[in-house]
Amino acid sequence: MSDTDRAALLAALPYARRFARALTGSQAAGDAMVADALRHGAAAVPGQDGARLGLFAAVARVAVAKPEEPAAPLSRTERMLLLLTSLEELDAPTAAMVLGLDEDLAEAMLGAARDRLRAATAARVLIIEDEAIIAMDLQQLVESAGHEVVGIAATEDAAVAIAERERPTLVLADVNLGHGGDGATAVERILTRVSTPVIFVTAYPERLLTGSRVEPAFVITKPFEPTTLAVATYQAVTRGLPLGAG
Cα dihedral 233, 171, 238, 246 sign: positive
Number of domains in the chain: 2
Summarised one tens digit per residue, pLDDT across range 98-112 is 999 999 999 999 988
> What pLDDT shows up at residue 242?
38
d(CA 235, CA 116): 13
Summarised one tens digit per residue, pLDDT across range 71-127 is 667 888 998 999 999 889 899 999 999 999 999 999 999 988 887 776 666 789 999
Enumerate the β-bridge partners of residue 219: 200
> What pLDDT shows up at residue 244?
34
Beta carbons within 8 Å of 189's beta carbon, 6+ residues apart: 156, 159, 160
How far is the CA of 23 from the CAs of 30, 83, 136, 232, in angstroms?
A: 7, 8, 28, 9
> What pLDDT shows up at residue 227?
75
> What pLDDT shows up at residue 60?
94
Total-model pTM = 0.62
Q: Does 244 map to a domain?
A: no
Q: Does 163 map to a domain?
A: yes
For residues 125 and 234, membership in a common domain is answered with yes
For residues 66 and 92, membership in a common domain is answered with yes
Tell me the residue type at 188: E
For residues 30 and 102, membership in a common domain is answered with yes
d(CA 243, CA 64): 10
Domain of 109? Answer: 3-118
- The residue among 55, 86, 118 that closes a domain is 118
- The residue among 70, 92, 118 that closes a domain is 118
For residues 62 and 125, membership in a common domain is answered with no
For residues 206 and 166, membership in a common domain is answered with yes
- The residue among 118, 141, 157 that closes a domain is 118
For residues 200 and 97, membership in a common domain is answered with no
> What pLDDT shows up at residue 106?
94
CATH number at residue 39: 1.20.140.160
For residues 19 and 101, membership in a common domain is answered with yes
For residues 86 and 140, membership in a common domain is answered with no
> What pLDDT shows up at residue 119?
60
* Residue ranges in the chain whose pLDDT is less than 70: 1-4, 44, 46-47, 69-72, 118-121, 204-217, 239-246
CATH number at residue 131: 3.40.50.2300
